[in-house]
Amino acid sequence: MLTDRWITDWEPSERWPHYTRSNAGEVLPTPASPLGQTFSWEGGICLGWADGYVRIGSYSADEFDPHHPEACGFFGGYFYINLSNVRMQGVRSPAVTVEQLDLAFFGDHPDVPKYTEHPDDERPDLVPKIVEHMGWVMTATTWPEIDEEKATTLKLRANRPDLASMADSELVAHARSTQPMLRKLFDSHTVSSSSSGVAPGVLSAIAAAISDATVPMKLVAAIGEVDSAEPSYAIWELSRAVKASPELTAAFDAGVVGLLDRLRQSGSADVRAFLDSFDGFLFDFGSRGPNEWEIIAETWETKPEIVLAALDRVRLQSDSESPGNRNLARAAERERITADVRSRVAQLGDELAGMFEAAMAASSQLAFRERTKTNIIRAVHEGRMAFRELGARHARAGDIADAAHVFMLLDSELEDFVANPAAFTEMLAERHDHWRELADLEPPYFIKDGAVPPLSQYRRKGDGACAQAVPGDSIRGVPGCSGTYIGTARVITDPCDPGGLEPGDVLIAPLTDPSWTPLFMAAGAVVVNVGGQISHSIIVCRELGLPCVVSATDATLRIPDGATVEVNGDTGAVTVLMLPDRADA
């Protein structure tokens, strides 16, 4: 029976007592597996998070617990970001405010806990380092360090050993070799992620000065070098090969289930060329997938059907909707608007003009953020693959009932499991049952004042009442990527099952991570329940030129599938124009 507290839960911080699932829900939408939390997060990522915060100057090392740094937390098995801790960047930095940080995280969410001063919040001694960091943010347009880290993680994948031939202890040692890398990579990611709100914040101030609220999102569109968008361009090329080949088209028309087996039995030159390209795609991007931060989760490499399902939708798109063409159009618009705004701010004084140039340089942090994240995901994936091999072999041996049960281990139990796996059989099966129960619970969006409710008080997912929108109703969200689009709403809750998503439909999603982005190429616009100004979905939509609205609360519940909707990426309004016919619904 599931108790009121999960086995890996943290104690809430007394110093920084407010936590949020905002952005955290995009990173780990499901409960963390015990091994994922204790091995990947506590053994590397969380430690790097504190390192990065100290590096940017907003915190001192002695402000963090050495084992469970208060930058985040895990409650009820779910991952949270420490809102109180994040706010110190607004309190202590002369360039960012608490209000700007809250907007980047929550949009206009009504339940955001108010900021309350603490005697230790102000740290004048940190200001010189903060100012030095901000100077770098507002001038750096390249970052060789993360380019080197990209090369390191690509080499890690290229040099993956033959896992099947390794002893259990060697598998664990190989996985453990990624933990220092995770710490270092997340150090860099913390720097880029915490700096990503600078450009939108400064540009918002400039937009107010010139009375044009649409300027910020247009100025950071199509910035290029966005690593998380790369798979989308590769999938587009694969989709064109399918569209151009009668053999491949027929194979996809027969369904994704069993598709690879059918293709491998074909002697067609088109099919062989496609399979070679697809294998290369999986080698390059196989670490990506739904819930990719979580090592128990399937990825494109472990379950290629995930990406094939997206490819099946993208192949239906017309050639004119190429993401490259969309990107070029947005880039041209950005260049035009940049020149226009530069001219307008110059007339308002040197100070505003200097702010504008600094903000444009700071927009590079948005691309840096996607690179640092992609680097981490590659390292997480190599640990995943080692543990999958460990689980598979002990499931075959009968030591565990299911290969996935290996992810119910704690990091501290790995060596004991290797020494005597049969001793863990029943315990891991029970943990897996309880972990699955957690997935049925709705974690609180905020934990305020350190008050963590017991699991018995969590609401079951799907139990909440939510009134469905009718024609004329608008759901207000945060503008993500400019433009207005009218199309048919397709409510998709699982990127592995894109269902009836047709070219030009409006993709309505609960959240997005890189596994969703291939579906963007089949869509005319994107609406997401959660997210802020620096959400992954916004950054990629800006690259692909799609109108986008995030933080559209309960959009997947309120907007009927098949309804005609208008998405206004300039104002953040999503308006239902017409309900679906019964046949469409």
Give the CA count within 13 Å in the CB-facing half-sphere of 519: 34
Asked whether residue 539 is domain-assigned, the answer is yes
| Three-state DSSP state, 203 | helix
Asked whether residue 20 is domain-assigned, the answer is no
Asked whether residue 222 is domain-assigned, the answer is no
Asked whether residue 566 is domain-assigned, the answer is yes
Which two structure tokens, joined as six digits, stand for 60? Answer: 């001192």
Say what the pLDDT of residue 188 is: 98
Per-residue pLDDT band for 373 (boundaries 50, 70, 90) equals: very high
Q: Which of 16-25, 119-128, 197-206, 401-410 has the lowest mean pLDDT?
A: 197-206
Q: Which of 62-76, 98-112, 389-403, 501-515 has the lowest mean pLDDT?
A: 98-112
Per-residue pLDDT band for 334 (boundaries 50, 70, 90) equals: confident
Per-residue pLDDT band for 226 (boundaries 50, 70, 90) equals: confident
Distance in angstroms (rounded) separating the CA atoms of residues 329 and 514: 22
Determine how many CB atoms are found less than 10 A away from the CB of residue 321: 18
Instruction: Indicate whether 296 pLDDT > 90.
Output: yes
Instruction: Indicate whether 39 pLDDT > 60.
Output: yes
Instruction: Indicate whether 140 pLDDT > 90.
Output: yes
Which two structure tokens, joined as six digits, stand for 214? Answer: 């649409």
Tens of pLDDT, residues 420-460: 999 999 999 999 999 999 999 999 989 999 999 999 999 98
Say what the pLDDT of residue 107 is: 60
Q: In what order do the strands lie in the sheet with 523-528?
A: 474-476, 573-578, 564-568, 484-491, 505-509, 523-528, 548-550, 478-481
Say what the pLDDT of residue 110 is: 76
Domain span holding position 489: 474-578
Tens of pLDDT, residues 242-274: 999 999 999 999 999 999 999 999 989 999 999
If you count them, how many residues does the chain have? 585
Mean per-residue pLDDT, 157-161: 97
Tens of pLDDT, residues 523-547: 999 999 877 666 777 777 887 888 9
Mean per-residue pLDDT, 347-351: 92
Determine how many CB atoms are found less than 10 A away from the CB of residue 405: 23
Instruction: Indicate whether 585 pLDDT > 80.
Output: no
Per DSSP bridges, beta strands 505-509 and 72-75 are unpaired
Per-range mean pLDDT, top range of 157-171, 220-234, 491-505: 157-171
Please tell me the total count of domains within the chain: 1
Distance in angstroms (rounded) separating the CA atoms of residues 445 and 465: 16
Asked whether residue 478 is domain-assigned, the answer is yes
Asked whether residue 530 is domain-assigned, the answer is yes
Asked whether residue 526 is domain-assigned, the answer is yes
Per-residue pLDDT band for 496 (boundaries 50, 70, 90) equals: confident
Mean per-residue pLDDT, 223-231: 79
Say what the pLDDT of residue 467 is: 85
We report the CATH number of the domain holding residue 482 as 3.50.30.10
Residues of the chain above pLDDT 90, percent? 71
Which two structure tokens, joined as six digits, stand for 489? Answer: 């709403």
Distance in angstroms (rounded) separating the CA atoms of residues 242 and 248: 5
Is the model's pTM score more than 0.85?
yes
Q: What is the mean pLDDT of the chain?
A: 91
Say what the pLDDT of residue 325 is: 83
Backbone angles phi, psi at 74, to 5 degrees: -130, 120
Asked whether residue 496 is domain-assigned, the answer is yes
